[in-house]
């Protein structure tokens, strides 16, 4: 059976690591982990590649990066327990506005997800949520940050960064603004007949690395995912015009 959809996204092209028990892929932007009323989702593509594959966790549709799937029920149970006991270490990279010097900054704020999927900080109704932030690279007006979510709540990194007045670039839902080349490059000229498109093309959040224990061998695994094109391009432009 073909592993290509009408958009020519092939599951095999996403694979970072594969053996008989597990597969790790680099999930693209704008592709849902589970069904979003289309066949352009990781669950569908994975089942088409191998019907025995199961998603071990999820990434938001607009978040790219490393995603773990496994074969066989015993492997799924093993990985699920690792996530439940917080034995899996997740590292995300993000770009935020402003210069921030974070050295293992711990944000411990309860997150509440309402019935209509609105996510907010709520000390009265929220569930315990913790993220650790560390500065990776500071530009003149922006910062590349490493994010280590200890818990795994919906929109956790986005909400926690917004709560400390450090919203993610392009994340308009939580107060983030786009990066415009006209604000970075001196004497930049663009056509007045059309609106300038942002450099980032969406919000900047990438699941960069996953550390866990192989469910069969017991080997310590560390798998990293390359940046998507928009993330790489944004960093390139910041290095050139905002260093």
* Closest by Cα among 209, 206, 153 to 163: 153
> Which pTM was predicted?
0.93
Q: Which fold has domain 11-241?
A: Pseudouridine synthase (3.30.2350)
Among 7-16, 56-65, 81-90, 233-242, which stretch is predicted with the lowest mean pLDDT? 7-16
Q: How does DSSP assign 55-101, residue by residue?
A: ESS---TT-EEEEEEEESHHHHHHHHHHHHTT--EEEEEEEEES---
pLDDT tens per residue, range 31-63? 999 976 666 899 999 999 999 999 999 999 999
Name the band, by pLDDT with cuts 50, 70 and 90, for residue 186.
Answer: confident
pLDDT tens per residue, range 143-165? 999 999 999 999 999 999 999 99
d(CA 13, CA 10): 5
Q: Where are the domains of the chain?
A: 11-241
Say how far residue 179 (Cα) sits from the centre of its chain: 19
* Beta carbons within 10 angstroms of residue 73's beta carbon: 10
């Amino acid at each position: 059976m073909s592993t290509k959809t009408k958009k020519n996204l092939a599951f095999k092209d996403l694979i970072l690591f594969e053996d008989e028990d597990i597969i790790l892929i680099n999930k693209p932007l704008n592709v849902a982990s589970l069904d979003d009323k289309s066949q352009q989702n990781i669950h569908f593509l994975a089942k088409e590649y191998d019907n025995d594959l199961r998603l071990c966790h999820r990434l938001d549709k607009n978040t790219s990066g490393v995603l773990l799937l496994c074969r066989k029920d015993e492997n799924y149970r093993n990985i699920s327990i690792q996530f439940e006991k917080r034995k899996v270490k997740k590292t995300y990279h993000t770009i935020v506005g402003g210069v921030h010097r974070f050295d293992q900054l711990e944000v411990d704020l309860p997150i509440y997800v309402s019935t209509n999927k609105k996510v907010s900080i709520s000390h009265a109704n929220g569930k315990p949520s913790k993220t650790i932030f560390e500065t990776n690279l500071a530009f003149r007006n922006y910062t590349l940050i490493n994010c280590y979510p200890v818990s795994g709540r919906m929109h956790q990194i986005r909400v926690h960064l917004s709560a400390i007045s450090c919203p993610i670039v392009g994340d308009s839902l939580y107060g983030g603004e786009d990066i415009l080349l006209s604000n970075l490059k001196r004497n930049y000229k663009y056509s007045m007949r059309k609106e300038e498109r942002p450099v980032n093309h969406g919000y900047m959040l990438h699941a960069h690395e996953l550390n866990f224990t192989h469910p069969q061998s017991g080997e310590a695994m560390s798998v990293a995912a390359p940046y998507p094109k928009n993330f790489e391009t944004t960093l390139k432009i910041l290095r050139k015009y905002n260093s």
